[in-house]
Amino acid sequence: MSEKSLVIPGQPVPLPVRVKANAGPGTYKYGEYLVASRIGFAKENSDDPSRKRSGGEVVATVSRIRPPLVIPEPESTILGRVTRINPRQATISILVVDGHPCGGALGHGAGARGNRAAGEGVDGTDFQGVVRAQDVRSTDKDSVILKECFRPGDIIRATVISLGDARSYYLSTVGNHLGVIHASSSDTDSPDATSWIPDGRAMQPVSWKEMVDPVTGRTEPRKVAKPEWL
């Protein structure tokens, strides 16, 4: 049996011919079969490899898949990448939930360049959220201009308000500790640009509503999350 044999609950654990196996963690006996009780990778544990060849007994186990699958829930804190914005809302590809990678982040680097847009991952496992204009901050909600709060490519910290609709979770950045935590500089030739340059310089926060390019000194508007070191 290959150590890469993926099994699901109720599936017989594949074993080599003439090998007798006892049930270990993640498995149980069902008649003459050894069956998996959880999703994971099946393998045999034996201190003496020759016992497998001679038909001796081994212990079969199913190890858990790490990291565990996590799903956004109300009040969860998420990290996500802004994929697009319009006057009403910003769309977010959720990468991390309560400190655990989720969705497409499991198969890619959890950063601005390592993940596809929500719904565009080849595995189809990305979670999508939206930050509506009224959920950006607690004051002056009617005057929020989303392109002055987020840009595509920004990494934000937000909380889950509700499960939203069938396509997206509703997210909020209301709170000093919520908002943009990483942003790259935009196209310097267009002050109103909403495009994202993957190789742009990482900007630094200078206030709750501005970040600065450390090389050019050019500032850009953002809804900035208060740095943890302040």
Contacts of 63 (CB under 8 A, 6+ apart): 25, 26, 40, 41, 43
CATH at residue 193: 2.40.50.140
Same domain for 118 and 141, yes or no, is yes
pTM: 0.62
> Considering the domain boundaries, does residue 116 fall inside one?
yes
Same domain for 182 and 120, yes or no, is yes
pLDDT-derived band at 201, boundaries 50, 70, 90: confident
Q: Which residue has the higher pLDDT, 170 or 52?
A: 170
Same domain for 202 and 165, yes or no, is yes
> Considering the domain boundaries, does residue 226 fall inside one?
no
Q: Number of structural domains, the chain?
A: 2
**Strand (E) positions, the chain?**
5-7, 20-23, 27-30, 33-36, 40-45, 57-64, 77-85, 89-97, 100-101, 127-132, 155-162, 169-172, 179-182, 204-207, 210-212, 219-221
Range of the domain at 20: 5-64
Each residue of 27-85: pLDDT tens digit?
Answer: 988 888 888 888 788 887 765 454 444 455 678 888 776 656 678 889 999 999 999 99
> Considering the domain boundaries, does residue 154 fall inside one?
yes
> Considering the domain boundaries, does residue 230 fall inside one?
no
> Considering the domain boundaries, does residue 93 fall inside one?
yes
Same domain for 112 and 175, yes or no, is yes
- Please give the pLDDT value at position 154: 94
Same domain for 58 and 101, yes or no, is no
CATH at residue 45: 2.40.50.100
> Considering the domain boundaries, does residue 20 fall inside one?
yes
Cβ atoms of 163 and 169 within 8 Å: the answer is yes
Q: What is the largest CA-CA distance in the chain?
A: 76
Same domain for 91 and 186, yes or no, is yes
> Considering the domain boundaries, does residue 96 fall inside one?
yes
Same domain for 82 and 183, yes or no, is yes
pLDDT surpasses 60 at 150? yes
Q: For residue 93, what is the DSSP state?
A: E
> Considering the domain boundaries, does residue 168 fall inside one?
yes
pLDDT surpasses 70 at 119? no
